[in-house]
Each structure stands twice: as C-alpha cells, then as structure tokens.
Chains A and B, each alone.
Chain A
C-alpha cells in the first residue's frame, strides 16, 4: 500500500520521511523499531497509530516528541524540521500513558506549568487553565492535588495540561488503556469531539483496533517497524492491504488461492475445492492471491430464501454463539478450513453438525496479493 492513495490533499503538515530507528538488544540482536517509515499527515486530522506491541508506534511518537532520536530520516512539522529541536522547544505536547502528573503540584499548577515556563502572565494563565479544565469537564478543581483525583479525572487533567499550550500536534500515548471499558468508550467520543473543537492534529497511539476505528480520520497500521497500511477506518476494514491488516483489524475469513479465470467484471479464484468469484478487476490468471470475507458478509440460506445473484458455500455447523443481536457461527468447510459467520435473526433451530448454506456477494470479496 502506498501513501499515494491519501485522501487528504493538505496532508503535508506533519511529514515523516524514511524514518529509521534500530535498537540493540542486550542479547546482541537488533530490533528494527522503525524501518523506513513515511507518513503525510494533515493539519487537523485525527490519526491513529495502530499495531501490536513492538510495532514501533510508541517509538515514532517518542521521536516526534523528542524523547528518542532517529538513526536516519527526516521529520518536518509545518515546514519546520523537528529533529534539530530539543524536546522542550518542539511545538507538540504529549498525553502520557501514565498521565505523568506532577504529584507535588496542584491541578492548576500542573495545567499551568507549560504556560508558566513559556512566560505567560498570571491573569492570562489563570484564565486559560480554567478554560482548559472546563473543556475536559473538570472546571473548578484547580486547588486539588493529583493524588486526590480518580483515574479518569487524572486522565482529563493530563489532557488539559497538554491542550492548554495549543500545540500544533497533540501526541497521545495509549492514554485510555488504564480506564475501564465504559469510561474508555465515553472518552473516545469526548476525545474525538475535543479534536474537532480544537481543530489540531491528534496523533493517537493504541493497540486497540476498536478504539482506532471509532475515533480516527485515518489509521496508520504499523507492523515490525513498517507501515502496513494508511487509510480511513472503512478502507482499513474493508480493503486491508495485507493479510496482517486483515487479521489484525476485526475478524476475517481468508482463503489462499490462484486466479483461474478473469474477465471484464472480475475473476474466479480457485481456493482448494472452492471456486470464489470476486469483482476485483485487477487480477490476471495464474497469480496467487488471498481472498477475504468478513463474517458479517455471509447470510444464512434456508429453504425459504433464494440465492439469486449470490455465491454459496456449504459448511457444517460446529458452534453457534449468541452475541446480542447476532449469532456467531463457527463452521467447517469440506476442505477442513474453519470459517466464521455473523448472522442476523433466529438461529435456535440450528443444531451442531447440521449442514449450512452460507451466501455472499462477489462484490464483497476482497483480494490481497499473496506474499510468498
């Protein structure tokens, strides 16, 4: 995948060019935290850096903040080269995973710290502290100490302390990871609203794909120090650029196969005994591909429904789990491969071991070039 597909024409506000950072492990090996990263990010985008632990997302954030150096490469922000500036001179602010509130200072002093060291006079400082706290929903707690606050409140204070300085980019290092699920979902929405209100670029690091899909304008999927894909949540979800992205984001059924025929409307891919039709028109006969179908893209056929215009798979039901409005079905194909389907409606009559007809649309079938 390439950044050439970028959807934001003004996306050269924050530019990362060929960023490389290797670490030596104590055992003598080398970890490629960043292995040639390129990114173009717009001035008021909510960008999420998503990936498993060790993918380099936190390293990239620290490099932009100035806490880590780069082995080679270049980073510019608003046409200004960042790497020559030491951390305290960079027009970015960070919300730390641990919040990093100064325990010996009151909430007000914490939030006003950046303003104070920047030489902002007290009356203005007091006013801006008040505004920032109000923005995060904590008006009037200036006098308290961080230790007197709940985890969620501390999180908001950390946020206020960062945004009060009006940074060009706000860096967020898994800030929601310590919160419980309910609070986390509430904060996701608030963060997105805050970003819209402020209109500044948020660079948000997480390993939680749901969080990424909820908040982001665009997501950067990182793996092994490389960008796997950069795209909107929809792009990432429905058109993953690699098997890694397909597996990492959401649940997917992937079939390995070979193109056996193509025409103006698509191609047929032979995956073992299975012949799958796709509307992808960029395939040529003989190329190896992986074919992906999301579980929710299947529908369950019974005697009353017809499969007109749809492809059909036959599989044996192994397990049916009720997940709220839907049922998650785990089935096994004749080839032995397991697939997962998410189907709507009543499935109480289904019995384990029973053969099922699963229909899908060839338009939903996404193909990924196979890598050998």
Chain B
C-alpha cells in the first residue's frame, strides 16, 4: 500500500512537467479563445467584456440584424476547406504510400539518404519554399516551360493563383508528415508475415489487403490525421499560392484577427475548426476502442 502511494507520488511528479506544459501552452490559450469567442468585438481589436452570441450565429448564417443578411458563406468556406484538406490527405497518401514501400526496400545507405532528402525541407523556411513554387507555377515558370518544351501545351496553363496551385503547395508542405509515420510503420512490418501469407497461398493482392494493410494502418491513420489537421487550418499556402481566389477557413481567421479587427469572431471560427477536428478524432478513437474490444 505504501509502495503504491509512493509510486503514485512518483508518477505525479513525473507527469507534472507534461501537465504543466499542456496547461500553459494548450489549455490556457484554448480557454482564452473559448472565452473570447463569446464576447463582443472591441472597436479597435481586442474584446469588450460583455456576452455576445452573434459570433457563432454568424458562422451558421444568421444575420446579426444590424448589418448583415442571412448567408451561409462561412459554412461554405468551412466545407470547402474540409474538401481541400481531404484532397491534400488523399494526394499525400497516394504519393507517400508507394514511395515509403519502395524506400523501405532499399539498402540502408540509400534508405538513409532518401529519408534525409524527405526531411531536408524542414531546414528551410516554409515561406521560402513556397516562393519557389511561385517561380515554378507562374505563366513563364518552369512547369509551363517544361510542358511547352515537351509539346504538351501551346499556351501557358493558368496554374498560379488557382485551387490546383494551393493543392500542389499543401501536398508539397505536408508530404513529410504523411511519409514519416507510414514509413516507420512499414519499417516495423515483419517481412516474415508477408512471406507467411504468400506461403499459405494468398496472392500478392490478398497479402497486401489482409496482412500488410492492417499492419501499416496505424501509420496511415496517424499520417492522415497529421496532414488533415494542419491542412484544414492552413492559411499560408492559400495566401501565397491562391491569392484571394482560394479561401480556406484559416484565411478567414487571419482576416478576422487582422483586417476586420474582430477577435471574437476569429476566435469563434477557430473554435469551430477545433470542434471539427475533435469530432473526427473522437470518431477515430471510438472506432479503435471498438475494434480493440471486439478482439
């Protein structure tokens, strides 16, 4: 009994830094946002300390009765952002999955080299890297020059400042986030399981579906979550590569905090993003728990 309470004390002490860290850098800011989202915007930014319910109503489309009319424009943006984020997830997954398999089969030296290449972009500022894409995607950029040289197009394609450019940029930025968890789960994959499956008569496709996929699934799901969440809230890529043409929910938040000087509404929009993500995580966790208890 004594040993137990001692263990509990030790555990508490060990967990204290983490708890403190989460509280200071996560819960408190989140709490501030939650409170702000229910206050009246200050005339010059900041908040007025009086309860104000229009922030959430406005997201759902209701007018505040003073200036606006009923309009679900914010929900549309949220929907479109989720679509773009989902497209980013699918694209990065389609690229990373086969590549991760291919790299995992290489000799150690080459393997390390490719891992290095994939993590290399982290050493440079994201803004600089996105500017490189501006040079590639603009009308006289490398992409159009290459396509013209190959004779595939005669007129430059409009790539820059389009949804395509935003997707390309997002995929580019988030590839490492998808690749690394998938790769680590493939690395952990026991090749003797694959051989066992073949040995028992399963075709390569069946082996992939029944043995490989379930084994690497945790990595795939981790990758999807790691890509979806920052994609949904991203505003840097649409700002740079989409101009005002592609608006994601993150851009709306940015606009509220800066140019519209409406912190509470920006906070409310952020809370909606967080709610969407928590909902998705909850669905995932629920499924995992259910799958575990089924065993």
Direct A/B contact, Cβ within 8 angstroms = yes
Query: How far apart sit A92 and B215, CA to CA, in the bound complex (Å)?
Result: 25
| CB–CB B193/A88 < 8 A | no
Interface centre among B107, B201, B210 (most CB of A within 10 A): B201
Which of chain B's residues have a CB closer than 8 A to the CB of A88? 197-204, 207
Size category of the binding interface on chain A = 20 to 34
Complex interface: chain A residues within 8 A of B107 (CB) = 26
The reply on B125 being an interface residue by CB < 8 A is no
Q: Does A118 lie at the interface of the complex (its beta carbon under 8 Å from any beta carbon of B)?
A: yes
Interface flags, B211-233, vs A, CB<8A=1, else 0: 10011000000000000000000
What does DSSP make chain A's interface, helix, strand, loop or mixed? loop
Residues from chain A with Cβ under 8 Å of B148 in the complex: none
User: B214 to chain A: which residues have CB within 8 Å?
Assistant: 104
CB distance from A121 to the nearest CB of B (A): 16
Taken together as a complex, chains A and B put the C-alpha atoms of A253 and B210 apart, in Å, by: 55
- Which of B190, B201, B202, B204 is the one whose CB lies under 8 Å from A100? B190
Residues of A within 8 A of B204 (CB): 88
Most buried by B among A67, A96, A100, A117: A100
Residues B202 and A113 in contact, CB atoms below 8 Å apart: yes
Q: Which of A67, A86, A104 contacts B195 (CB 8 A)?
A: A67
Write the A273-311 contact mask toward B (1 if CB under 8 angstroms, else 0). Answer: 000000000000000000000000000000000000000
**CA–CA, A114 and B207, complex, Å:** 11
Shortest A63–chain B CB gap in Å is 13
A367 CB to closest chain B CB, in angstroms? 44
B110 at the interface (CB under 8 A from A): no
A106 within 8 Å of B (CB atoms): yes
Contacts of A103 in B (CB 8 A): 193, 215
Q: Does A51 contact B (CB under 8 A)?
A: no
Q: How distant is B64 from chain A, measured CB to nearest CB, in Å?
A: 53
Q: Indicate whether A93 reaches chain B with its CB closer than 8 angstroms.
A: yes
Q: Name the B residues within 8 Å of A65 (CB-CB).
A: 195, 199
For window 85-118 of A, CB contacts with B under 8 Å fall at: 86-89, 92-94, 96, 98, 100-104, 106, 113-114, 117-118
Alpha-carbon distance A123/B196, docked complex (angstroms): 24
| A96 x B201 contact (CB < 8 A) | no
Residues of B within 8 Å of A96, CB to CB, are 192, 195-196
CB distance from A155 to the nearest CB of B (A): 14
A87 to B107, CA, bound (A): 24
Task: Flag if B192 contacts A93 (CB, 8 Å).
Answer: no
| In the complex, A365 has a CB within 8 A of chain B | no
Q: Which residue of A lies closest to B199 (CB)?
A: A94
Are A98 and B190 interface neighbours, CB within 8 A? yes
- B6 at interface by CB-CB < 8 Å: no
A59-80 to B contact mask, C-beta < 8 Å, 1/0:
0000001110000000000000
- In this assembly, does A327 line the interface, its C-beta being within 8 Å of a C-beta of chain B? no
Q: A88-B203, A117-B206, A145-B295 are known contacts. Are A100 and B198 too (CB-CB below 8 A)?
A: no
**With A and B bound together, what is the CA distance between A114 and B211 in angstroms?**
13
- Establish whether residues B195 and A106, one from each chain, have CB atoms under 8 Å apart when the complex forms: no
Q: Is the CB of B193 within 8 A of A117?
A: no
Report the separation of the CA atoms of residues A346 and B286 in the bound assembly, to the nearest whole angstrom. Answer: 73
The smallest C-beta distance from B195 to any residue of chain A, in angstroms, reads 5
B residues 112-144 touching A (CB-CB < 8 Å): none
- Chain B residue numbers with a CB within 8 Å of A89 are 201
Q: A87-B195, A102-B193, A102-B196 are in contact. Are A118 and B201 (CB under 8 A)?
A: yes
> What are 23 sample pairs from A and B whose C-beta atoms fall under 8 A apart?
A65-B199, A66-B198, A66-B199, A67-B195, A87-B195, A88-B203, A89-B201, A93-B199, A94-B196, A96-B195, A100-B192, A100-B193, A102-B210, A103-B215, A104-B214, A113-B202, A113-B210, A114-B200, A117-B201, A117-B206, A145-B295, A162-B200, A165-B201
- Chain B positions within 8 Å of A, measured between CB atoms, are 107, 190, 192-193, 195-204, 206-207, 210-211, 214-215, 295
Nearest 6 Cβ contacts at the A-B interface: A114-B200, A100-B196, A100-B192, A87-B198, A117-B202, A88-B198
